[in-house]
Chain A
């Protein structure tokens, strides 16, 4: 049905044309789900945009042919292309928040789309819209259709987006990371829906994603892309079960398994990184020399956090919203505690309460035998400011983009008075960069000159330079590609083993938590669902919620036969 051959897309820039994708070939049959997998910058989305004719200016299709059925997609006039979009090819985007117009009722958006492509009365269009909503699993569709997008939950909203893509009976739907913004439970339902639609309506799907688990779960065929080229293509079983290209196997190795705990991730080019580690020895010696006391742990008991809710009356105090409810657990000295939960479960609030950014309404936190003052009562000079350091989710926002790396790194040394001499601070920062696997000349660059993984290494180096004893990692790898995630997780494991750090590891990704943690806390709606040894929780979960999460996480099958 869809046939793409030798497709190349170029973007003119001030440095001459940049080839975004090169020589891409693929075909999608009716009812087939074709996965397009690769890491960021691989050109996956550009392929989708080129097919639907929405390449961002000034990009252009340089060579190749694309055809849908009998129609040549490259030689369409603007009007023809406009009619084809939506009518024969639809698109589903990543974020259901932004792909629906928040000021229009779902009803109007659906009717508008149907009427744009067909000469049909509003009442007939409405009837079709209700049918489609019912088909994709929205109950009470004739009532719900009158709602605004914000009145639907994230998963339901993505269903509405799918309904919008479906309502003109397209032959091909391009989905760009359709479930990346969703929680696992919702993700699995949306994926089931896509599979079902492919089977029942014989629609071809192009599924663009970075998550190999998702591909393994529903795709029939898969193309692996890297740097604008398709490296390997074939049936999912063939490509993922018996990868021919080294990059595909490296990608598969980097996916953390859910069913077992492995010591380290296998890295394809590990030997290359080990050279020049001597410079890092200075930093290592410095960190070890600061380790004067025992490892410290953190006990949390009866912790509650409340936020003021929505004001319903001018005179009455607004009802409070409980973000964390009676949290009790202990991070044992020198261990890693994994904290899992879906979005909105209170994971980040807990981290903020520990660091003093949020004031708990009751409860106690004891760090190494000393009680931590709550919220703003904790002064700037409190010793815990140095002992607790944090690594954030988004390495693009956690480093000040206007400061050079050297300045970012030497700040904790200066602030805590650890090293007085500016030259010494600089040398130590350079050594620390080496310890986390970067070249020491990085010290004079700005953060934007580094990739996401390198920036996260810089963030790790910054937190280590405070000589912390307790490290909070808040989703440290969820903004990164899998292969880089594997590198960062390896690095954290190495550092933890070497320096006996106590780590609170927060993530929504169960497989990552399994790899990292000794103990695990499962959080839901601000309450602890389950708390125990990692192995116990992953192999013999007692709480229903944990069981559900474990069963819904997409995983690579152990064998493909």
Chain B
């Protein structure tokens, strides 16, 4: 086992970094819980028949009047907080991961091409990226949300809310990928193996994806983790402001918005438990991203 760990530098560094280990554990349990939410959670918070108003506003078990059925208490509708958080994390992670994936594909594709071809194409892509950066993510999301409301028929609007939200977040994140991919591609273009491939007469697509891409994956992986955290936060922000998901399919942001109403009225758990969970999840993903950066960049070690 030890010999195996020592063979791989990343693993070896991992065993020497307590922060990374704790972050990995937190992230693992959150993601595990989110994936298997339907199996773990005692009630389905989307199913109105599975909970009862009579159980509303119960505190966590360790407080007076706590009910062992609801470990972390219930909200005003009587929904179990544990189940809500698991389902909420599930939605948040689905949106975060798909937004990040779309942003990666879009950003890396454009960035690679901009770095490879340079010149006018590069200029156009990068100016679009600059404009994108000048718009706050919330504004982009509002814009897309507004457009979607305008052109989509009312019946499908509810069903497509997740897709619209994902697209809005992806559009505000792709710039990071494009810029990093472009800069790394510039560096690789100077390397002689790329010149060798061009001299041989290989097709540009092949040079970009077979030769350059594997060599710039390191920094891109780091951005993927960091941007996953941003995507989750962005979704939470949008839902908190009411642009995101509605109260009947709560993500973490929606849960926090609902909890806001009870912040000063004694039912602290409705606000604080999802908030702490969100912060822990985002911090652990960020720590993992930092750790990855250290692994890929020996000079920072």
Contact = CB atoms under 8 A, between A and B. Distances in A.
Partners in one complex: yes
Given A14-B6, A397-B192, A399-B193, A390 B199 contact: yes
Contact of A394 (B12, B192, B201, B214): B192
A381 B198 CA distance: 12
B199 A402 contact: no
Contact of A356 (B6, B197, B199, B202): B199
A16 to B, nearest CB: 10
Interface string A390-427: 10111001111111000000011001000000000000
B202 A380 contact: yes
B70 to A, nearest CB: 48
A419 to B, nearest CB: 15
B195 A392 contact: yes
Interface string B1-44: 00000100100100000000000000000000000000000000
B215 A401 contact: yes
Contacts of B198: 357
A392 B196 contact: yes
B201 A382 contact: yes
Contact of A15 (B6, B192, B196, B202): B6
Interface string B196-240: 111111110000000100110000000000000000000000000
The dominant DSSP class at the B interface is helix
A355 B197 CA distance: 12
Contact of A402 (B12, B197, B202, B215): B215
Contacts of A355: 199
B192 A398 contact: yes
Given A400-B211, A402-B214, A415 B192 contact: no
A337 B298 CA distance: 41
B301 to A, nearest CB: 10
A392 B200 CA distance: 13
A522 to B, nearest CB: 25
A389 B202 CA distance: 13
B201 A381 contact: yes
Nearest to A355: B199
A466 interface: yes
A388 interface: yes
A144 interface: no
Nearest to B214: A402
A157 to B, nearest CB: 23
Contacts of B200: 385-386, 389, 411-412, 415, 466
A343 B193 CA distance: 22
A411 B198 CA distance: 13
Task: Place the interface of chain A in its size category.
Answer: 20 to 34
Nearest to B206: A415
B188 to A, nearest CB: 9
Interface in B116-168: none
Contacts of B201: 379-382, 385-386, 415
Nearest to B191: A397
Contacts of B192: 392-394, 397-398
A398 B211 CA distance: 11
A478 to B, nearest CB: 13
Contacts of A466: 200
Contacts of A412: 200
Contacts of B9: 14
B202 A357 contact: no
A14 B10 CA distance: 12
Contacts of B215: 400-402
A397 B197 CA distance: 12
A393 B193 CA distance: 11
B253 to A, nearest CB: 39
Interface in A374-388: 379-382, 385-386, 388
Nearest to A378: B201
B119 to A, nearest CB: 12
Contacts of B195: 357, 390, 392
Given A14-B6, A15-B6, A388 B199 contact: yes
Given A380-B202, A415-B201, A390 B196 contact: yes
A122 to B, nearest CB: 36
B94 to A, nearest CB: 31
B181 to A, nearest CB: 16
Contacts of B199: 355-357, 385, 388-390
Nearest to A463: B196
A380 B203 contact: yes
A125 to B, nearest CB: 34
A14 to B, nearest CB: 5
A470 to B, nearest CB: 12
A293 to B, nearest CB: 20
Interface in A513-537: none
A390 B215 CA distance: 22
A140 B200 CA distance: 52
Contacts of B203: 380
B193 A400 contact: yes
Contacts of B193: 397-401
A15 B5 CA distance: 11
B150 to A, nearest CB: 43
Interface in B40-89: none
Interface string A455-467: 0000000100010
* Residue from B9, B195, B203, B211 with most neighbouring chain A CB atoms (10 Å): B195
Contacts of B197: 400
Given A390-B196, A392-B192, A398-B191, 8 more contacts: A14-B9, A14-B12, A379-B201, A385-B200, A390-B199, A392-B195, A392-B196, A400-B214
Top 4 A-B residue pairs of the complex, sorted by shortest distance between their CB atoms: A385-B201, A402-B214, A398-B192, A392-B192
7 contacts: A385-B200, A386-B200, A389-B200, A392-B196, A398-B196, A402-B215, A403-B214
Interface of B: 6, 9, 12, 191-193, 195-203, 211, 214-215
